[in-house]
Amino acid sequence: MDGTAGPKDRNPTAEAPRATRTGARRASATGRKISPATAKRLPVRQGEGHWTASELADVRDRLELEMTALRSEIAAAESQIAERMNDVTEGAGDDQADAGAKTFEREHEMALTYNARDLLAQNERAVDRIGQGTYGVCESCGQAIGKARLQAFPRATLCVICKQREERR
């Protein structure tokens, strides 16, 4: 997504992909369709049905919508932080408590921005794994993460057992 689009890719009404509940296969914002064969190759836990192209497209669309929202949130937060950093007269004459409160607020905004960047990176990684055909494989044990878990939490990289083990540490 380098911002350049060819003549076929320009559609002014399609700024962001929209998640839908239709059964039809859809193209993502990048124009790639998910083939039924790709969807069926993805691992699932015992007792779960194979992924369908529509289910996988729904997950990818959801991730891409969240990525769009996160990018705008990050841009807004960064410009707000930059404004506060550049305003040297703000806080002139403040006492220590006021200066401390402003520092706390600035650091809080920076932490929220860092968190949004981390979520964006996780979403981008999940979309990449869908494209590579490795989506749904636990990065710790190599077993299937589970379709239901991924539909609830599409950024998951660990199965429930490995995630519980990680959280106990």
- What confidence tens digit (pLDDT) does each residue in 126-156 have? 999 998 889 999 999 999 999 999 999 999 9
CA nearest to 28, candidates 161, 127, 169: 127
pLDDT of the residue at 87: 64
| 56 pLDDT above the threshold of 80 | yes
* pLDDT for the residue numbered 114: 94
CA angle 66, 70, 75 (to 5 degrees): 155
Q: Residue 29 has what pLDDT?
A: 42
Percent with pLDDT over 70 in the chain: 77
Mean pLDDT taken over the chain: 78
Burial class (CB in 10 A: 0-12, 13-18, 19+), 39: buried
- Please, where are the H alpha helices in the chain? 36-41, 53-86, 96-132, 147-152, 160-168
d(CA 19, CA 67) in angstroms, rounded, equals: 13
From the number of C-beta atoms within 10 Å of its C-beta (0-12, 13-18, 19+), residue 145 rates as buried
- Spell out the long-range contacts of 94-103 with Cβ–Cβ below 8 A and sequence spacing 24 or more: none
- pLDDT(9) > 60: no
Which one has a higher pLDDT value, 26 or 101? 101
**Quick one: average pLDDT of 7-34?**
41
* Distance, CA of 149 to CA of 145 (rounded, Å): 7
Q: Distance (Å, rounded) from C-alpha 100 to C-alpha 106?
A: 10
- pLDDT, residue 155, reads 95
CA proximity to 39, closest of 139, 133, 143, 148: 133
Instruction: Inform me whether the pLDDT recorded for 12 exceeds 70.
Output: no
Q: Read off the pTM.
A: 0.69
Query: What are the φ/ψ torsions at residue 8 (nearest 5 degrees)?
Result: -75, -25
Q: Which of the four pLDDT bands, split at 50, 70 and 90, describes residue 20?
A: very low
Output the pLDDT for position 44: 84
> If pLDDT is split at 50, 70 and 90, which confidence band does 30 have?
very low
